Structure 1
Amino acid sequence: MALTEKQEALVKESWELMKQDIPRHGFRLFALILEIAPGAKDLFSFLRDTDEIPENNPKLKAHAARVFKLTCESAVQLREKGEVVVADTTLKWLGSVHLRKGVLQPHFEVVKEALLKTIEEGVGEKWSEEMKNAWGEAYDHLAAAIMGEMQVEAAASSKPIA
């Protein structure tokens, strides 16, 4: 099921506020991911050789901004399109990369928790339980689409996913 009209409005309103500073919010998202699950840093080649989250790491900054933007833009379009809107090739690539890196379903929950906290901080007093639920629903759709592609990739390569 896609978002309701009210959920769509909440997601769009908060995205309008946050897209003014995608790099900052993207970095905060990754800082929170690594705070919640420190072992996740090993999933990223550009973080493996460090014990801290280097704010001046250009690869981390670029990756974080791309992930945050893709996640938010797919959420904004969910109701209008009725499904996650990411180019098929991008979705296939995301599934393949996540499978290759060993990403598991619990990792998606960590990202969801970090994303919701990032948005809460990003929108400040506009944050509400309704907005949290709207973003949670939107994120769940994106995560399901990526996990679906992971399953397709796993079946094609005979590599089971956990």
Structure 2
Amino acid sequence: MALTAQQESLIVNSWDMLKNDSADHGLKFFLKIFSAAPEATALFSYLKDSSVPLDQNPKLKTHATLIAETAIQLRKTGKVNVGESNLKHLGAVHLKLGVTHAHFALAKAALLETIKEGVPCIWSTALSDAWGVAYDHLVAAIKAEMK
């Protein structure tokens, strides 16, 4: 299902509110994932033997920023363009690490909760649905490259 004009508008408006602190929101996103599934830290090589607390880990913060940049790419084009992004690499990495459908579902829940906390004044079912559709497009693009 493609994003509707209304969904894109909702995403754009909420992203305008989130983008100034995108790295912070990205970090919160990962911390939610690790809270729900501590074993997910094993998917990140730089976290395996790190003694740095997750919320202070500079490599995790960098990774969170990359996630935010992917969201920006989605907004700029209105769709995920694999040829114009790092999604081919993401697909290969996710495949190599053994990321499953359950991991993607957990990440979606963490994303929506992070956005809800980031823009509580405009949070709605419609906004949740819009971000859900955008996330599903991103995951479909990643999964398409997981061959």
Give me the TM-score of the superposition, normalised by structure 1.
0.83
In structure 2, how many angstroms separate the alpha carbons of the residues matched to 1:77 and 1:115? 19
Higher mean alpha-carbon deviation, 13-22 vs 55-64, is at 55-64
**1:119 aligns to 2:125 (yes or no):** no
Paired position in structure 1 for 2:88: 92
Deviations 1:20-54 (A, max 9, x none): 11121011000001112111010001211258842
**1:29 aligns to 2:29 (yes or no):** yes
Residue of structure 1 aligned with 2:97, choices 101, 119, 128 = 101
Paired position in structure 2 for 1:159: none
RMSD of aligned Cα (Å): 1.8
Give the 3-state SS of the residue equivalent to 2:145 in structure 1. Answer: helix
> What fraction of aligned residue pairs are identical, expressed as a percent?
46
Matches within 5 A, 1:4-153: 4-50=4-50, 53-70=53-70, 72-77=71-76, 79=78, 83-88=79-84, 90-151=86-147
- The alpha-carbon distance between structure 1 residues 129 and 51, as it changes in their structure 2 partners (threshold 3 A), is farther
| Structure ID, larger Rg | 1
Give the 3-state SS of the residue equivalent to 1:84 in structure 2. Answer: coil
8 Å Cα contact 1:31/1:53 also seen in 2: no
Aligned partner letter, 1:65 = T
In structure 2, how many angstroms separate the alpha carbons of the residues matched to 1:90 and 1:52? 27
8 Å Cα contact 1:91/1:146 also seen in 2: yes
In structure 2, how many angstroms separate the alpha carbons of the residues matched to 1:78 and 1:112? 21
Aligned residues: 147
8 Å Cα contact 1:26/1:64 also seen in 2: yes
In structure 2, how many angstroms separate the alpha carbons of the residues matched to 1:101 and 1:112? 18
In structure 1, how many angstroms separate the alpha carbons of the residues matched to 2:135 and 2:73? 9
- The alpha-carbon distance between structure 1 residues 34 and 40, as it changes in their structure 2 partners (threshold 3 A), is same
**Structure 1 residue runs without a partner (length 5+):** 152-162
Work out which structure has the larger RCO, using CA pairs closer than 8 Å and 6 or more positions apart in sequence.
2
